[in-house]
């Protein structure tokens, strides 16, 4: 007969004492769960085993003795052998080990059987076995062994920090893993989640007011990165503070990912905030912002002066070139005047804006992206003006092309229909309208092309903030948002522009 003994690795260096575990009847197996250290009172050990058996509903008992004699404990092994009379068992295990040696000595004292039994000694890692969820249909005793360890969780609550009369060794004997922190978080998480859920419900009610559903407010909130980031943060907090437990492993991992990313984001934001408010960095940024705006304006003025001359040797329509150039120069002058007017308040805006970093690094980067967008709003206006003029030219030439082919656009049916024109009408239209539009098109197209490239450079700079904010968030990478920041065209239009290309067949 072969006896299988499952011994936890955490008890290899335990002090001498009693082995507590379970006999698996019918399979000649014993599962050791813990070692109760000497000194102890046998009546207290019996009471403790009965108490653990009632809590875990596992047939626990004292399996035998464990001996690891130290200096001055030469008679410990014989003393523990005599305890078999106090804890009567059909089999009494005597497992011993010498200090400094790797091997174990195991003896089985059987009252009914005189012949010596063979023993298979199996080491197992108690924590992994307890946390595992396995099924051994073809090995019943292994299944019972896993269930025994998993159901004996109350036995592992006692650690060396307890003031009880008994001390034991098991996988949590050095202290339960983050037990104090976990218990405190469990106690504090319920009211905290209820409070945050109540605050989120109030915030959602405010956002759902009718005034925020009006077109200008809704349009601005969809374009500002701060508002978009705030909506995503609200969604994440609602998922974290939900009173419902995770339905599955995927949802649990999603909540864990959101929590970790939120903590990392807030930690990075606090570091950024500490850097901003140290050594007057905000003042230095405010003093750098106005000269940077002046430098950008100077570069734009030089670009417009180049366009008003003979750019790349091209011969432009001088009258239209001068009108467009002076219009844009006057626009730059107005914008620089506005920036200098706001310069006394820029430091205050940066100071209060830096406080948003406590909400997370992504929120601060979104606010910075919106500030860059507002400071470069005149570049966006240049692009819109050029795009509008270019589209009007294209639309006019496409209408004249339909007129030349004897067709027209039917507004009611939304289609192109045939139409008969007199020769005088065609000649007058082509002479009066087609020729000026055709000769003014290169000048308009050049301005549009230049400002399209400028707005794409601006959108690329903003896109870096958006990509970094989404990557630091680690929970959501909105491709459509990145596309809207980047733009989808090189020549005709960008997605941020209200001006869209018009179909030439209309």
More reliable by pLDDT, 117 or 161: 117
Judge whether residue 202 has pLDDT over 80.
yes
Highest mean pLDDT (candidates 7-11, 153-157, 364-368) = 7-11
More reliable by pLDDT, 492 or 76: 76
Helix H or strand E segment including 119: strand 118-124
More reliable by pLDDT, 254 or 489: 254
Give the model's pLDDT for residue 277.
84
Judge whether residue 336 has pLDDT over 80.
yes
Q: Write the DSSP symbol of residue 431.
A: I
- CA 252 to each of CA 133, 189, 194, 247, 410: distance values in angstroms, whole numbers, following the listed order: 17, 16, 19, 7, 58
pLDDT, mean of residues 468-476: 50
- Is the domain 2-169 a CATH 3.40.140 member? yes
More reliable by pLDDT, 123 or 407: 123
More reliable by pLDDT, 130 or 486: 130
pLDDT in tens, 29-61: 899 999 998 888 888 989 998 998 888 888 889
Judge whether residue 175 has pLDDT over 50.
yes
- Rounded to whole angstroms, how far apart are CA atoms 491 and 446? 11
Neighbours of 362 (CB within 10 A): 29
- Rounded to whole angstroms, how far apart are CA atoms 400 and 380? 30
> pLDDT category, 475, cuts 50, 70, 90?
very low
Give the model's pLDDT for residue 20.
92
Give the model's pLDDT for residue 367.
84
- Rounded to whole angstroms, how far apart are CA atoms 349 and 346? 5
Highest mean pLDDT (candidates 81-95, 137-151, 214-228) = 81-95
Judge whether residue 502 has pLDDT over 50.
no
pLDDT, mean of residues 178-184: 54
**Cα–chain-centroid distance for residue 429?**
61
pLDDT, mean of residues 493-504: 37
pLDDT in tens, 370-381: 887 877 788 888
Give the model's pLDDT for residue 301.
87
- CA 139 to each of CA 25, 84, 144: distance values in angstroms, whole numbers, following the listed order: 14, 31, 9
Pairing of strands 17-24, 29-37: antiparallel
Give the model's pLDDT for residue 135.
53
Highest mean pLDDT (candidates 133-142, 232-241, 400-409) = 232-241
Judge whether residue 489 has pLDDT over 50.
no
Give the model's pLDDT for residue 331.
85
pLDDT in tens, 275-314: 888 888 888 888 888 888 888 888 888 888 888 887 877 7
Judge whether residue 137 has pLDDT over 60.
no
Cβ–Cβ under 8 Å, residues 448 and 386: yes
Q: Outline which parts of the chain fall under CATH 3.40.140.
A: 2-169
Neighbours of 386 (CB within 10 A): 24
- Rounded to whole angstroms, how far apart are CA atoms 447 and 385? 9
pLDDT in tens, 404-416: 666 777 677 777 7
Mean pLDDT across the chain, nearest whole number? 76
Neighbours of 213 (CB within 10 A): 10
pLDDT, mean of residues 346-367: 84
Q: What is the pTM of this model?
A: 0.51
Judge whether residue 361 has pLDDT over 70.
yes
């Amino acid at each position: 007969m072969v006896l299988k003994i499952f011994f936890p690795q955490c008890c290899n260096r335990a002090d001498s004492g009693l082995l507590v575990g379970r006999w698996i009847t019918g399979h000649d197996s014993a599962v050791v769960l813990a070692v109760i250290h000497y000194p102890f009172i046998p009546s207290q050990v019996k009471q403790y085993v009965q108490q653990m058996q009632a809590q875990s509903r596992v047939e626990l008992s004292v399996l035998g003795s464990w001996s690891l004699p130290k200096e001055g404990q030469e008679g410990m092994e014989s003393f523990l052998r005599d305890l078999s009379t106090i804890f009567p068992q059909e089999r009494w295990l005597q497992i011993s080990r010498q200090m400094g040696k790797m091997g174990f000595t195991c003896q089985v004292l059987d009252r009914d059987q005189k012949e010596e039994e063979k023993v298979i000694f199996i080491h197992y890692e108690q924590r992994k076995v307890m946390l595992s969820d396995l099924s051994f249909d073809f090995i019943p005793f292994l299944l019972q062994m896993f269930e025994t360890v998993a159901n004996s969780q109350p036995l592992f609550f006692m650690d060396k920090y307890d003031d009880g009369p008994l001390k034991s060794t098991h996988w949590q004997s050095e202290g339960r893993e983050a037990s104090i922190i976990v218990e405190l978080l469990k106690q504090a998480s319920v009211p905290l989640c209820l409070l945050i859920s109540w605050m989120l419900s109030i915030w959602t009610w405010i956002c759902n007011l009718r005034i925020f559903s009006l077109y200008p407010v809704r349009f601005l909130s969809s374009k500002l990165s701060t508002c978009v980031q705030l909506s995503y943060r609200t969604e994440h907090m609602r998922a974290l503070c939900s009173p419902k437990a995770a339905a599955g492993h995927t949802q649990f991992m999603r909540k864990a990912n959101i929590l970790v990313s939120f903590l990392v984001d807030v930690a990075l934001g606090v570091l950024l905030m500490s850097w901003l408010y140290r050594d007057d960095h905000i003042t230095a940024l405010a003093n750098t912002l106005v000269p940077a705006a002046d430098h950008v304006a100077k570069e734009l003025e030089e670009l417009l002066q180049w366009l008003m001359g003979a750019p790349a040797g091209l011969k432009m329509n001088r009258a239209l070139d001068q009108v467009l150039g002076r219009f844009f120069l006057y626009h730059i002058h107005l914008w620089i005047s506005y920036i200098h007017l706001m310069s006394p308040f820029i430091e205050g805006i940066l100071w209060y804006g830096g406080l948003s970093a406590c909400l997370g690094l992504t929120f601060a980067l979104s606010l910075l992206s919106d500030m860059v967008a507002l400071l470069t709003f005149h570049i966006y206006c240049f692009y819109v003006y050029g795009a509008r003029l270019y589209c009007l030219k294209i639309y006019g030439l496409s209408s004249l092309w339909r007129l030349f082919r004897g067709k027209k656009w039917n507004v009611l049916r939304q289609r192109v229909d045939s139409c008969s024109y007199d020769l005088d009408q065609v000649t007058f239209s082509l002479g009066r309208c087609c020729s000026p539009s055709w000769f003014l098109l290169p000048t308009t197209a050049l301005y549009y092309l230049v400002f399209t490239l400028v707005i794409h450079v601006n959108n690329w700079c903003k896109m870096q903030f958006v990509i970094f904010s989404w990557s630091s968030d680690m929970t959501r990478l909105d491709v459509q948002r990145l596309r809207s920041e980047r733009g989808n065209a090189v020549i005709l239009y960008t997605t941020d522009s209200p001006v869209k290309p018009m179909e030439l067949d209309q």
